[in-house]
Structure 1
Amino acid sequence: IGAALMHDFVNVPKTSPDRAKASEMSAEAARPLLKQADFDESAIERISVAVRQHSFSRGEVPVEPLAMALQDADRLETLGAIGILRTTATGDRMGATFFHGSDPWAEDRVRNDLKWTLDHYFTKLLTLPKSLRTEAGQAEAKRRTEFMVQFLTQLGEEMGVPLPEGLIEKTLR
Protein backbone atom coordinates (compact mmCIF):
# COMPACT_ATOMS: atom_id res chain seq x y z
CA ILE A 1 0.00 0.00 0.00
CA GLY A 2 2.89 2.34 0.75
CA ALA A 3 4.18 2.08 -2.83
CA ALA A 4 0.72 2.71 -4.29
CA LEU A 5 0.21 5.79 -2.13
CA MET A 6 3.64 7.26 -2.85
CA HIS A 7 4.17 6.41 -6.53
CA ASP A 8 3.08 9.84 -7.85
CA PHE A 9 3.69 11.82 -4.67
CA VAL A 10 5.74 14.48 -6.48
CA ASN A 11 3.76 15.83 -9.44
CA VAL A 12 5.91 17.12 -12.30
CA PRO A 13 3.96 18.53 -15.28
CA LYS A 14 4.04 16.36 -18.42
CA THR A 15 5.65 19.21 -20.37
CA SER A 16 8.47 19.76 -17.85
CA PRO A 17 12.03 18.76 -18.76
CA ASP A 18 12.21 17.21 -15.27
CA ARG A 19 9.30 14.82 -15.97
CA ALA A 20 11.58 11.77 -16.13
CA LYS A 21 12.83 12.58 -12.61
CA ALA A 22 9.37 12.59 -10.99
CA SER A 23 9.51 8.98 -9.79
CA GLU A 24 12.95 9.49 -8.28
CA MET A 25 11.72 12.65 -6.55
CA SER A 26 8.67 10.76 -5.26
CA ALA A 27 10.85 7.93 -3.96
CA GLU A 28 13.03 10.36 -2.01
CA ALA A 29 10.06 12.35 -0.68
CA ALA A 30 8.41 9.11 0.46
CA ARG A 31 11.27 7.98 2.69
CA PRO A 32 10.66 10.31 5.68
CA LEU A 33 6.89 9.82 5.48
CA LEU A 34 7.22 6.05 5.46
CA LYS A 35 9.64 6.21 8.39
CA GLN A 36 7.17 8.43 10.26
CA ALA A 37 4.46 5.82 9.55
CA ASP A 38 6.66 3.17 11.22
CA PHE A 39 7.73 1.27 8.10
CA ASP A 40 11.00 -0.58 8.75
CA GLU A 41 14.14 0.22 6.72
CA SER A 42 13.78 -2.88 4.56
CA ALA A 43 10.21 -1.96 3.58
CA ILE A 44 11.19 1.66 2.96
CA GLU A 45 13.95 0.51 0.61
CA ARG A 46 11.64 -1.88 -1.30
CA ILE A 47 8.99 0.82 -1.64
CA SER A 48 11.54 3.43 -2.74
CA VAL A 49 12.92 1.10 -5.42
CA ALA A 50 9.41 0.30 -6.67
CA VAL A 51 8.41 3.98 -6.78
CA ARG A 52 11.62 4.91 -8.60
CA GLN A 53 11.33 2.09 -11.16
CA HIS A 54 7.61 2.29 -11.98
CA SER A 55 7.67 5.41 -14.17
CA PHE A 56 7.00 5.27 -17.91
CA SER A 57 8.93 8.52 -18.42
CA ARG A 58 12.02 7.14 -16.68
CA GLY A 59 12.07 4.10 -18.98
CA GLU A 60 13.45 1.71 -16.36
CA VAL A 61 12.53 -1.97 -16.47
CA PRO A 62 11.65 -3.17 -12.95
CA VAL A 63 12.93 -6.52 -11.74
CA GLU A 64 11.55 -6.69 -8.19
CA PRO A 65 7.99 -8.09 -7.82
CA LEU A 66 6.68 -4.99 -6.01
CA ALA A 67 8.13 -2.70 -8.68
CA MET A 68 6.65 -4.83 -11.48
CA ALA A 69 3.21 -4.82 -9.85
CA LEU A 70 3.36 -1.07 -9.23
CA GLN A 71 4.42 -0.34 -12.80
CA ASP A 72 1.61 -2.53 -14.15
CA ALA A 73 -0.97 -0.84 -11.91
CA ASP A 74 0.26 2.60 -12.95
CA ARG A 75 0.00 1.71 -16.63
CA LEU A 76 -3.41 0.10 -16.19
CA GLU A 77 -4.69 3.48 -14.95
CA THR A 78 -4.19 4.81 -18.47
CA LEU A 79 -6.20 2.07 -20.19
CA GLY A 80 -9.93 1.34 -20.45
CA ALA A 81 -12.78 3.71 -19.63
CA ILE A 82 -10.81 5.58 -16.98
CA GLY A 83 -7.91 5.88 -19.40
CA ILE A 84 -10.19 7.43 -22.02
CA LEU A 85 -11.41 10.02 -19.51
CA ARG A 86 -7.88 10.75 -18.26
CA THR A 87 -6.54 11.10 -21.79
CA THR A 88 -9.28 13.53 -22.76
CA ALA A 89 -8.86 15.58 -19.58
CA THR A 90 -5.08 15.71 -19.94
CA GLY A 91 -5.26 16.67 -23.61
CA ASP A 92 -7.72 19.45 -22.77
CA ARG A 93 -5.54 20.69 -19.91
CA MET A 94 -2.53 20.79 -22.25
CA GLY A 95 -4.47 22.69 -24.92
CA ALA A 96 -4.75 19.86 -27.44
CA THR A 97 -7.76 19.47 -29.71
CA PHE A 98 -9.53 16.12 -29.84
CA PHE A 99 -8.27 15.14 -33.30
CA HIS A 100 -6.85 16.52 -36.54
CA GLY A 101 -9.78 17.75 -38.62
CA SER A 102 -8.84 16.33 -42.00
CA ASP A 103 -6.61 13.40 -41.01
CA PRO A 104 -7.73 12.13 -37.58
CA TRP A 105 -5.92 8.77 -37.90
CA ALA A 106 -2.61 10.36 -39.04
CA GLU A 107 -2.50 8.47 -42.31
CA ASP A 108 -0.68 11.30 -44.11
CA ARG A 109 0.93 13.26 -41.29
CA VAL A 110 3.23 12.76 -38.34
CA ARG A 111 1.42 12.05 -35.07
CA ASN A 112 1.63 14.76 -32.43
CA ASP A 113 -0.14 13.97 -29.18
CA LEU A 114 0.62 17.43 -27.80
CA LYS A 115 -1.63 18.90 -30.52
CA TRP A 116 -4.23 16.14 -31.02
CA THR A 117 -5.46 13.97 -28.16
CA LEU A 118 -6.46 11.09 -30.44
CA ASP A 119 -2.82 10.70 -31.46
CA HIS A 120 -1.94 9.74 -27.87
CA TYR A 121 -3.77 6.43 -28.28
CA PHE A 122 -1.32 5.47 -31.02
CA THR A 123 1.87 7.09 -29.70
CA LYS A 124 1.54 5.63 -26.20
CA LEU A 125 -1.66 4.06 -24.87
CA LEU A 126 -2.06 1.17 -27.30
CA THR A 127 1.66 0.37 -26.99
CA LEU A 128 1.46 -0.15 -23.21
CA PRO A 129 -0.10 -3.65 -23.00
CA LYS A 130 3.04 -5.32 -24.34
CA SER A 131 5.11 -3.67 -21.58
CA LEU A 132 3.20 -5.08 -18.62
CA ARG A 133 5.25 -7.43 -16.44
CA THR A 134 2.75 -9.53 -14.51
CA GLU A 135 0.30 -12.13 -15.77
CA ALA A 136 -2.60 -10.39 -14.01
CA GLY A 137 -1.56 -7.04 -15.45
CA GLN A 138 -1.35 -8.43 -18.97
CA ALA A 139 -4.82 -9.98 -18.72
CA GLU A 140 -6.37 -6.76 -17.41
CA ALA A 141 -4.54 -4.69 -20.05
CA LYS A 142 -5.97 -6.92 -22.78
CA ARG A 143 -9.50 -6.43 -21.45
CA ARG A 144 -9.13 -2.66 -21.14
CA THR A 145 -7.44 -2.32 -24.52
CA GLU A 146 -10.32 -4.17 -26.19
CA PHE A 147 -12.68 -1.57 -24.73
CA MET A 148 -10.50 1.25 -26.06
CA VAL A 149 -10.51 -0.33 -29.52
CA GLN A 150 -14.33 -0.44 -29.39
CA PHE A 151 -14.29 3.24 -28.44
CA LEU A 152 -11.95 4.15 -31.31
CA THR A 153 -14.06 2.13 -33.77
CA GLN A 154 -17.21 3.92 -32.61
CA LEU A 155 -15.43 7.29 -32.77
CA GLY A 156 -14.45 6.62 -36.37
CA GLU A 157 -18.04 5.75 -37.24
CA GLU A 158 -19.35 8.91 -35.60
CA MET A 159 -16.72 11.08 -37.34
CA GLY A 160 -17.55 9.50 -40.69
CA VAL A 161 -13.88 8.50 -41.01
CA PRO A 162 -13.65 4.79 -40.14
CA LEU A 163 -10.68 3.48 -38.24
CA PRO A 164 -8.22 2.37 -40.95
CA GLU A 165 -7.92 -1.38 -41.34
CA GLY A 166 -4.80 -2.75 -39.69
CA LEU A 167 -4.01 0.41 -37.70
CA ILE A 168 -4.79 -1.17 -34.33
CA GLU A 169 -2.86 -4.36 -35.09
CA LYS A 170 0.15 -2.35 -36.31
CA THR A 171 0.12 -0.24 -33.13
CA LEU A 172 -0.28 -3.21 -30.78
CA ARG A 173 2.75 -4.99 -32.28
Structure 2
Amino acid sequence: MLSEDVYHSIMDDVASLFVNDSSGHDIHHTKRVHDSAVTIQATEGGDIDIIRLASLLHDADDRKLFATENYSNARSIMVDHGISKDMQDAVIHVISQVSFKGKDTIAPDTLEGMIVQDADRLDAIGAIGIGRAFAYGGKAGRAMYDPKEHHKEGMSESEYYSNEGTTINHFYEKLLLLKDMMNTETAKRVAKHRHSFMEGFLKEFYDEWYGTNQTNL
Protein backbone atom coordinates (compact mmCIF):
# COMPACT_ATOMS: atom_id res chain seq x y z
CA MET A 1 0.00 0.00 0.00
CA LEU A 2 1.30 3.44 -0.90
CA SER A 3 2.16 5.84 1.91
CA GLU A 4 0.10 8.88 2.81
CA ASP A 5 3.13 11.03 2.00
CA VAL A 6 2.99 9.79 -1.60
CA TYR A 7 -0.70 10.60 -1.84
CA HIS A 8 -0.22 14.08 -0.38
CA SER A 9 2.55 14.76 -2.87
CA ILE A 10 0.44 13.52 -5.78
CA MET A 11 -2.40 15.74 -4.58
CA ASP A 12 -0.04 18.72 -4.70
CA ASP A 13 0.98 17.84 -8.25
CA VAL A 14 -2.65 17.54 -9.32
CA ALA A 15 -3.47 20.85 -7.64
CA SER A 16 -0.82 22.53 -9.77
CA LEU A 17 -2.72 21.45 -12.89
CA PHE A 18 -5.88 23.23 -11.77
CA VAL A 19 -4.54 26.55 -10.54
CA ASN A 20 -7.20 29.26 -11.01
CA ASP A 21 -9.70 26.79 -12.48
CA SER A 22 -13.24 28.15 -12.43
CA SER A 23 -14.95 25.40 -14.41
CA GLY A 24 -15.84 23.17 -11.46
CA HIS A 25 -12.95 20.81 -12.18
CA ASP A 26 -10.68 22.25 -9.51
CA ILE A 27 -8.66 20.46 -6.83
CA HIS A 28 -11.66 20.56 -4.49
CA HIS A 29 -13.58 18.43 -6.98
CA THR A 30 -10.65 16.01 -7.10
CA LYS A 31 -10.55 15.78 -3.30
CA ARG A 32 -14.28 15.13 -3.07
CA VAL A 33 -14.09 12.37 -5.70
CA HIS A 34 -11.15 10.82 -3.88
CA ASP A 35 -12.91 10.90 -0.51
CA SER A 36 -16.15 9.52 -1.94
CA ALA A 37 -14.27 6.72 -3.69
CA VAL A 38 -12.50 5.79 -0.45
CA THR A 39 -15.84 5.72 1.36
CA ILE A 40 -17.42 3.52 -1.31
CA GLN A 41 -14.40 1.19 -1.31
CA ALA A 42 -14.77 0.63 2.42
CA THR A 43 -18.09 -1.10 1.71
CA GLU A 44 -17.69 -2.41 -1.81
CA GLY A 45 -14.03 -3.53 -1.77
CA GLY A 46 -11.47 -3.21 -4.56
CA ASP A 47 -7.79 -2.30 -4.71
CA ILE A 48 -7.49 0.82 -2.59
CA ASP A 49 -4.29 2.10 -4.24
CA ILE A 50 -5.70 1.86 -7.75
CA ILE A 51 -8.89 3.53 -6.60
CA ARG A 52 -7.11 6.37 -4.81
CA LEU A 53 -4.66 7.02 -7.64
CA ALA A 54 -7.35 6.95 -10.31
CA SER A 55 -9.54 9.27 -8.25
CA LEU A 56 -6.77 11.80 -7.82
CA LEU A 57 -5.73 11.65 -11.48
CA HIS A 58 -9.08 11.16 -13.21
CA ASP A 59 -9.21 14.76 -14.53
CA ALA A 60 -5.46 15.21 -15.12
CA ASP A 61 -5.96 14.68 -18.86
CA ASP A 62 -9.64 15.62 -19.22
CA ARG A 63 -10.22 16.55 -22.86
CA LYS A 64 -12.30 19.55 -21.80
CA LEU A 65 -9.31 20.98 -19.95
CA PHE A 66 -6.11 19.67 -21.51
CA ALA A 67 -4.78 18.91 -24.97
CA THR A 68 -2.69 15.95 -23.79
CA GLU A 69 -2.39 12.55 -25.42
CA ASN A 70 -2.15 9.06 -23.95
CA TYR A 71 -2.85 10.35 -20.44
CA SER A 72 0.56 12.00 -20.33
CA ASN A 73 -0.15 14.15 -17.27
CA ALA A 74 -1.32 11.20 -15.20
CA ARG A 75 1.54 9.03 -16.45
CA SER A 76 4.14 11.69 -15.69
CA ILE A 77 2.89 12.20 -12.15
CA MET A 78 2.88 8.48 -11.43
CA VAL A 79 6.37 8.02 -12.90
CA ASP A 80 7.66 10.88 -10.74
CA HIS A 81 6.36 9.09 -7.66
CA GLY A 82 7.74 5.68 -8.51
CA ILE A 83 4.44 3.98 -9.28
CA SER A 84 5.06 0.63 -11.00
CA LYS A 85 4.27 0.22 -14.68
CA ASP A 86 1.63 -2.42 -13.93
CA MET A 87 -0.15 -0.12 -11.49
CA GLN A 88 0.12 2.80 -13.90
CA ASP A 89 -1.58 0.71 -16.57
CA ALA A 90 -4.33 -0.35 -14.15
CA VAL A 91 -4.94 3.26 -13.11
CA ILE A 92 -5.05 4.52 -16.70
CA HIS A 93 -7.48 1.73 -17.58
CA VAL A 94 -9.81 2.93 -14.83
CA ILE A 95 -9.51 6.58 -15.87
CA SER A 96 -10.21 5.72 -19.51
CA GLN A 97 -13.65 4.37 -18.58
CA VAL A 98 -14.81 7.10 -16.18
CA SER A 99 -16.23 9.77 -18.48
CA PHE A 100 -19.83 10.25 -19.55
CA LYS A 101 -20.03 10.05 -23.36
CA GLY A 102 -23.73 10.20 -24.18
CA LYS A 103 -25.10 6.95 -25.58
CA ASP A 104 -21.50 5.76 -26.03
CA THR A 105 -20.88 5.75 -22.27
CA ILE A 106 -19.56 2.42 -21.04
CA ALA A 107 -19.83 0.66 -17.70
CA PRO A 108 -16.35 -0.02 -16.30
CA ASP A 109 -15.15 -3.61 -16.46
CA THR A 110 -13.42 -3.53 -13.07
CA LEU A 111 -14.72 -2.90 -9.57
CA GLU A 112 -12.14 -0.16 -9.17
CA GLY A 113 -13.46 1.54 -12.29
CA MET A 114 -17.04 1.27 -11.11
CA ILE A 115 -16.16 2.91 -7.81
CA VAL A 116 -14.20 5.80 -9.31
CA GLN A 117 -16.88 6.40 -11.94
CA ASP A 118 -19.55 6.44 -9.23
CA ALA A 119 -17.55 8.86 -7.08
CA ASP A 120 -17.06 11.22 -10.01
CA ARG A 121 -20.73 11.05 -10.93
CA LEU A 122 -21.88 11.70 -7.38
CA ASP A 123 -20.00 15.01 -7.52
CA ALA A 124 -21.91 15.90 -10.69
CA ILE A 125 -25.31 15.74 -8.99
CA GLY A 126 -26.93 17.30 -5.95
CA ALA A 127 -26.17 20.81 -4.67
CA ILE A 128 -22.51 20.78 -5.64
CA GLY A 129 -23.35 19.23 -8.99
CA ILE A 130 -25.73 22.10 -9.68
CA GLY A 131 -23.08 24.64 -8.76
CA ARG A 132 -20.48 22.91 -10.93
CA ALA A 133 -22.85 22.77 -13.89
CA PHE A 134 -23.43 26.52 -13.84
CA ALA A 135 -19.74 27.21 -13.20
CA TYR A 136 -18.77 25.20 -16.27
CA GLY A 137 -21.55 26.72 -18.35
CA GLY A 138 -20.40 30.22 -17.48
CA LYS A 139 -16.78 29.35 -18.18
CA ALA A 140 -17.78 27.93 -21.58
CA GLY A 141 -19.93 30.95 -22.44
CA ARG A 142 -23.18 29.01 -22.48
CA ALA A 143 -26.59 30.47 -21.74
CA MET A 144 -28.16 29.54 -18.45
CA TYR A 145 -31.53 28.77 -20.05
CA ASP A 146 -33.34 29.45 -23.30
CA PRO A 147 -37.01 28.44 -23.46
CA LYS A 148 -36.74 28.07 -27.24
CA GLU A 149 -33.89 25.59 -27.04
CA HIS A 150 -34.79 21.98 -26.35
CA HIS A 151 -32.47 19.41 -24.86
CA LYS A 152 -31.08 16.65 -27.05
CA GLU A 153 -31.46 12.93 -26.49
CA GLY A 154 -29.37 9.95 -27.53
CA MET A 155 -26.25 11.91 -28.42
CA SER A 156 -23.16 9.99 -29.50
CA GLU A 157 -19.78 10.71 -27.92
CA SER A 158 -18.81 13.19 -30.63
CA GLU A 159 -22.22 14.88 -30.52
CA TYR A 160 -22.09 15.13 -26.74
CA TYR A 161 -18.64 16.73 -26.68
CA SER A 162 -19.48 19.19 -29.45
CA ASN A 163 -22.82 20.13 -27.93
CA GLU A 164 -23.03 23.75 -26.72
CA GLY A 165 -26.50 23.77 -25.26
CA THR A 166 -27.71 25.61 -22.19
CA THR A 167 -26.86 24.62 -18.64
CA ILE A 168 -30.47 23.71 -17.87
CA ASN A 169 -30.51 21.41 -20.90
CA HIS A 170 -27.38 19.74 -19.48
CA PHE A 171 -29.51 18.49 -16.60
CA TYR A 172 -31.61 16.46 -19.04
CA GLU A 173 -28.70 15.48 -21.27
CA LYS A 174 -26.55 14.15 -18.42
CA LEU A 175 -27.16 15.00 -14.77
CA LEU A 176 -30.66 13.54 -14.39
CA LEU A 177 -29.51 10.34 -16.11
CA LEU A 178 -26.73 9.57 -13.66
CA LYS A 179 -28.83 8.16 -10.81
CA ASP A 180 -29.78 5.14 -12.88
CA MET A 181 -26.22 4.71 -14.17
CA MET A 182 -24.55 4.20 -10.78
CA ASN A 183 -22.68 0.92 -10.42
CA THR A 184 -22.47 0.25 -6.69
CA GLU A 185 -25.22 -0.05 -4.12
CA THR A 186 -23.47 2.52 -1.94
CA ALA A 187 -23.51 5.14 -4.70
CA LYS A 188 -27.08 4.31 -5.68
CA ARG A 189 -28.27 5.17 -2.17
CA VAL A 190 -26.52 8.54 -2.16
CA ALA A 191 -27.64 9.32 -5.72
CA LYS A 192 -31.34 9.02 -4.85
CA HIS A 193 -31.23 11.98 -2.48
CA ARG A 194 -29.06 14.13 -4.74
CA HIS A 195 -31.28 13.35 -7.74
CA SER A 196 -34.37 14.44 -5.80
CA PHE A 197 -32.61 17.65 -4.81
CA MET A 198 -31.95 18.47 -8.47
CA GLU A 199 -35.57 17.80 -9.38
CA GLY A 200 -36.63 20.23 -6.65
CA PHE A 201 -34.16 22.81 -7.90
CA LEU A 202 -35.49 22.57 -11.45
CA LYS A 203 -39.06 23.02 -10.27
CA GLU A 204 -38.06 26.12 -8.32
CA PHE A 205 -36.05 27.40 -11.27
CA TYR A 206 -39.00 27.15 -13.64
CA ASP A 207 -41.37 28.67 -11.06
CA GLU A 208 -39.11 31.68 -10.71
CA TRP A 209 -38.33 31.96 -14.43
CA TYR A 210 -41.97 31.93 -15.51
CA GLY A 211 -43.28 33.77 -12.45
CA THR A 212 -45.62 30.96 -11.43
CA ASN A 213 -44.70 31.20 -7.75
CA GLN A 214 -44.80 34.75 -6.45
CA THR A 215 -45.52 33.98 -2.80
CA ASN A 216 -42.15 35.32 -1.63
CA LEU A 217 -42.48 38.72 -3.35
Name 2:133's counterpart in structure 1: 87
Query: Contact 1:68–1:133 (CA<8 Å) still a contact in 2?
Result: yes
Whether the aligned pair in 1 keeps the contact of 2:127 and 2:194 (CA below 8 Å) is yes
What residue in structure 1 maps to residue 168 of structure 2?
118
Aligned partner of 2:205 in structure 1 is 155
Do residues 99 (structure 1) and 150 (structure 2) align? no
2:64 equivalent in structure 1:
13
8 Å CA contact 1:46–1:66 kept in 2: the answer is no
Q: Aligned to 1:25, what secondary structure does the other structure show?
A: coil
Cα separation, 2, equivalents of 1:25 and 1:78: 25
Say whether 1:54 aligns with 2:98.
yes
| Matching residue's letter, 1:148 | M
The 3 A distance-change label for structure 1 pair 158 and 72 is same
Tell me how far apart the structure 2 counterparts of residues 95 and 32 of structure 1 sit (CA, whole Å): 32
- Alignment-mate amino acid for residue 40 of structure 1: S
Residues 23-81 of structure 1: CA deviation (Å, up to 9, x unaligned): x733x542342233132333223212111111213723212111111111111111011
TM-score (norm 2): 0.60
Q: What amino acid maps onto 2:70 in structure 1?
A: M
Question: Which residue identity does 1:37 align to in structure 2?
Answer: H
Task: Report the aligned-residue RMSD.
Answer: 2.6
Aligned to 1:68: 114
Scaled by the length of structure 1, what TM-score is found? 0.74
Letter in 1 for 2:118: D
CA distance in 1, matches of 2:94, 2:62: 17
How far off is 1:158 after superposition?
A: 1.3
Q: Report deviation, 1:161.
A: 6.3
- Give the 3 Å change call, closer, same or farther, for CA 137–40 of structure 1 in structure 2: same
CA distance in 2, matches of 1:124, 1:13: 16
Preserved CA contact (<8 Å) 1:95 1:115: no
How far, CA to CA, are the matches of 1:126 and 1:111 in structure 2? 12
Match for residue 167 of structure 1? Answer: none
Identity of aligned residues (%): 29
Comparing 149-158 with 38-47, greater Cα deviation is found at: 38-47
1:42 aligns with 2:92: no
Please say if residues 142 and 164 of structure 2, whose CA atoms lie closer than 8 Å, have aligned partners that are also in contact.
yes
Measured in 1, the distance between the counterparts of 2:193 and 2:87 equals 32
Structure ranking higher on relative contact order (CA contacts 8 Å, 6+ apart): 2
Unpaired runs of at least 5, structure 2: 1-51, 153-162, 213-217
User: How many aligned positions are there?
Assistant: 149
Distance 1:133 1:115 in 2: 28
- For 1:149 and 1:52, how far apart are their aligned partners in 2? 30
Report the CA distance shift for 1:90/1:67 in structure 2 as closer, same or farther (over 3 A). same
